[in-house]
Structure 1
């Protein structure tokens, strides 16, 4: 068996979606009350659509006063693919897509695609509150960098992570508490100081947490004799592998990058 270990550590348990939605509501409310802008680095597939649905619920319910939500990167294209296959979505979401009765969260009026550099520059310079969902999800490139380098220094703004930040990425460095980062601005390297509020909401992750990973292996019959733990920090791969070895008396491997494991 080959199994991921993104959240395989002994303390890696994800909050419920209800808790994640509440955290999102809190950070959106705080940011907009300050008159600020919220940057949300997202992956185009999956995570973007989950956050769009959550924001749509906040606005439709009247919990938060609607503001423009800009979608930058490949989010619009990925969302169109989701909408084209409603049978793979939840029943409630599928129903809203098929009925086309104005309840489709993906076509709500507050979601606005960013088409081109000129519009992006206009959004960056605009002083009114808004939310930006933009790729890439780990702040390691993509259009999100334009918003980050222009807005990260302002205390009224916020940076909201909703996905895993891998070691070595800008997102992970910020989570570790880096107060300033070098960035290329107008062809020159400049230091961007981090003054905005920063939060991480774990409940939107597309990865299974430790409890879910162990439950999955529990359902395998007969139990696997060999398990390769990968797709995670080395420590998390090792922790999950040790637990699986003790629980199932099997061989486990946590190979490093480029390490070869002979299967046969």
Structure 2
């Protein structure tokens, strides 16, 4: 078996970073993401201390599975630490990655344009866009041969799982031509909006698999859409505002896609009544996307429509605009953002607001929550995972307590708004989906590393794997 060091996503679901040693002197790095909330690396990196805390001398290349910040947010620190090798990713990710890094630098590091431009120039120089399902040789300094193939992961646009085919002297001594290692990245749930479902690789000697929802299953797609509609109808019935914290890339576009579908089917059906008794139909509902980054990503998503799935393509053919329909208002500048927050605090017309960040750990959603969480007419609807130590997890944990509150920017805010969670709307695979990813391999792994999950989720998935796949070694790394 090949040696793997896990530099992140070991004690939780953020900071994904794994180092595969292809021989004793050389390695490749898979992802290099930010830590969020209370999660840390084994060497001490945290959400506030992001400098690279591990030796880079062996690293020959970086592979990006997808561009969520918890998988790519430390890339500027990687470059600053001296990494000059190629950065391999899918072609859609190559388009999206510079936008994510630019935003991460502006929000968390600096607004100095020359520093940002220098970092982005480095990324453009080092990035190597790959087609899905094509083998690519990664240059090595020794006789070791390493090939990489990216396959669709169904998580966000451009997401991939990475397959490595390694041949070195130690492997040849075992009378094997090569050794296959697969890193799942983040796998999507089947039938996610816009994206084809992931298909398992033919084989893997070693598999590194995520376990975000390793202890539970998701509802099917139609049930998720029905629950979203029912949740919104209930939330909007008293003319309040519905706040949906969502990451700028992936989740926001999926929500827009599903909201367009709900509105298309129910255009002239009532969703609410205003304080003066006027009926409000679905087609009249205000949907506010308050995130400059999300708006940029949505435009890029539309430009990458050839990578959408067949269902989305058919909607386009019908003349529909799944990500850009008339009920949507986008907000870019900060002044309009503050005016909108104040308006919604005073108004009695129902509206839906989608804003980042998805875990309420920063971004414009924080101002909305501060202004609206104290009014019981309003609702906060979570559609994604909330990591330990984030305000989102606090709201979920304490909203049903008599004295429940959340701390934002050092100030306590009583939770009076209604709080709902639609966990089935996650872009992550559920337990059965993760097991299916293994089942559908023609030749199943000899060793499985379980990462990217809370302890309970990892242990539950390990138990299921051990029960079904006899003789497989299952490892839960602790560092």
The one of 167, 180, 184 equivalent to 2:405 is: 180
Query: How high is the TM-score relative to the length of structure 2?
Result: 0.50
The one of 246, 251, 256 equivalent to 1:47 is: 251
Q: Deviations over 1:34-63 (max 9, x none)?
A: 010000001122211111122122223224
The one of 4, 18, 29 equivalent to 2:222 is: 18
Q: Give the secondary structure class of the aligned counterpart of 2:361.
A: coil
Alignment pair present for 1:7 and 2:219: no
Unaligned runs of 5+ in 2: 1-206, 272-280
The one of 323, 330, 337 equivalent to 1:113 is: 330
* Structure 1 ranges of 4+ moved more than 3 A: none
More displaced, 207-216 or 119-128? 119-128
Kindly indicate whether the alpha-carbon contact (under 8 Å) linking 1:6 and 1:207 is maintained by their aligned counterparts in 2: yes
**Count of matched residue pairs:** 249
The one of 335, 340, 345 equivalent to 1:123 is: 340
Shift of 1:100: 8.2
Shift of 1:82: 1.5
- RCO higher in 1 or 2 (8 Å CA, sep ≥ 6)? 1
Kindly indicate whether the alpha-carbon contact (under 8 Å) linking 2:391 and 2:407 is maintained by their aligned counterparts in 1: no
Q: Give the secondary structure class of the aligned counterpart of 1:107.
A: coil
Q: Give the secondary structure class of the aligned counterpart of 1:156.
A: coil
Shift of 1:213: 0.7
More displaced, 50-59 or 144-153? 50-59
**1:250 maps to which residue?**
472
Q: Give the secondary structure class of the aligned counterpart of 2:222.
A: helix
Alignment pair present for 1:170 and 2:391: yes
Q: 1:129-168, aligned counterparts within 5 Å? A: 129-168=350-389
Query: How high is the TM-score relative to the length of structure 1?
Result: 0.89
| C-alpha distance in 2 between matches for 1:223 and 1:40 | 39
| C-alpha distance in 2 between matches for 1:19 and 1:100 | 24
Shift of 1:222: 1.8
The one of 432, 437, 450 equivalent to 1:211 is: 432
| C-alpha distance in 2 between matches for 1:203 and 1:238 | 20
**1:227 maps to which residue?**
448
**2:235 maps to which residue?**
31
Whichever structure has more helix as a proportion of its residues is: 1
State the Cα RMSD in Å.
1.6
Q: Give the secondary structure class of the aligned counterpart of 1:106.
A: coil
**1:262 maps to which residue?**
none
The one of 257, 261, 273 equivalent to 1:57 is: 261
**2:286 maps to which residue?**
68
Q: Deviations over 1:87-144 (max 9, x none)?
A: 22122322444x583x102111111111111111111111132111011111111111
Shift of 1:158: 0.3
| C-alpha distance in 2 between matches for 1:245 and 1:91 | 36
Kindly indicate whether the alpha-carbon contact (under 8 Å) linking 2:240 and 2:350 is maintained by their aligned counterparts in 1: yes
**1:82 maps to which residue?**
301
Q: Give the secondary structure class of the aligned counterpart of 2:381.
A: strand
Kindly indicate whether the alpha-carbon contact (under 8 Å) linking 1:50 and 1:204 is maintained by their aligned counterparts in 2: no
Shift of 1:150: 0.5
Q: Give the secondary structure class of the aligned counterpart of 1:94.
A: helix
| C-alpha distance in 2 between matches for 1:183 and 1:172 | 12
Kindly indicate whether the alpha-carbon contact (under 8 Å) linking 1:93 and 1:104 is maintained by their aligned counterparts in 2: no
Q: Give the secondary structure class of the aligned counterpart of 2:419.
A: strand
| C-alpha distance in 2 between matches for 1:227 and 1:92 | 34
Shift of 1:238: 1.9
Kindly indicate whether the alpha-carbon contact (under 8 Å) linking 2:391 and 2:408 is maintained by their aligned counterparts in 1: no
Kindly indicate whether the alpha-carbon contact (under 8 Å) linking 2:289 and 2:355 is maintained by their aligned counterparts in 1: yes
| C-alpha distance in 2 between matches for 1:68 and 1:118 | 19
